Amino acid sequence: MSETVNRITSQLTAAARRGEYIMLDVLSAIFPQDAEIELVFLIPRTSEQILRKSVFQSSVDGEYWVRRSLEYVFHT
């Protein structure tokens, strides 16, 4: 299942620093529990290294976080 929850438009910059994060807190219920949420990042090529080195995590309770992998990188 794939559902567009919300579109985030943001520019990752080459000046990103360790420890910086962007968190999306979805307040509506997501059914079924094993539903997938896909995040698509459109970034300039100069920011690709930042994306590759970023850690992706999700959580349903804000305490226990599951690490997610960056699956695909497409180039235009």
Partner 1 sequence: MADNYFTILGNQVPEIWFDHGIELGGGVPFTVGQQGHEHNQRHIVSTYILNPRPGYCDYTTFQKRACTYLDRLVSIMHVNSQLMEAHPFVRATTNIAQWYINRTPCLTSLCLLETNVHLLGDQPHRGHVAADLVAREEEYSRVMDPSTVFNYSYYSLSRAVDGIPATEFRGFFRKLNITHV
Shortest Cβ 72–partner 1 spacing (Å): 20
Shortest Cβ 2–partner 1 spacing (Å): 15
Cα 34 to Cα 65: distance, rounded to the nearest angstrom: 15
Cβ-contact 26, 35 below 8 angstroms: no
40 in contact with partner 1 (CB under 8 A):
no
Please say which residue, 19 or 32, places its beta carbon nearer to partner 1. Answer: 19
* Torsion, Cα of 13, 16, 20, 25 (10° steps): 10
Phi-psi region of 35 (alpha: psi -120 to 50; beta: other; left: phi over 0): beta
20 in contact with partner 1 (CB under 8 A):
yes
Binder to partner 1 among 2, 18, 22, 74 (CB under 8 A)? 22
- Applying CB under 8 A, the residues found at the interface with partner 1 are 5-11, 13-17, 19-28
